Amino acid sequence: MHFKMDTDHKPLIPIFSKKNSDGLSPRLQRIKLRMMKFSYTTVHIPGKELFAADALSRNPQEVPYKREKLEAGIYAFIQMITSSLPASSRRLDVLRAAQLKD
């Protein structure tokens, strides 16, 4: 499913439109990495026309913390990354062994 991401922050348009993440801060790289699983188009809308986003940003809601759900999400993310690595099984075993030593 493709969706349109509206933003009133114009500098985000080229950041989320181009595929290359070189030169981005680690924070923006993490955001782009999380967004890779979605198909979207980024569009600039002036802030005075984004009524819902403005209202939602002013009334943050407390979300209950669930450790199991967080751990499941982290595990799924790691599985997604490791399954897309262009590495042989032997190389992955070496990486796993090195990670266990950390």
Q: pLDDT tens-digit profile of 46-77? A: 888 877 766 666 666 677 778 888 888 888 88
What is the DSSP secondary-structure string of 33-52? Answer: HHHTTSEEEEEE--GGG-HH
The set of long-range contacts for 25-31, using a CB threshold of 8 Å and a minimum separation of 24, is none
Cα distances from 81 to residues 27, 42, 76, in angstroms, run: 18, 24, 9
3-state secondary structure of 14: helix
Q: Across the strands, what pairs with 3?
A: 40
More confident residue, 61 or 38: 38
Compute the distance between CA of residue 7 and CA of residue 31 in angstroms, rounded to an integer.
15
Please tell me the pTM assigned to this model: 0.46
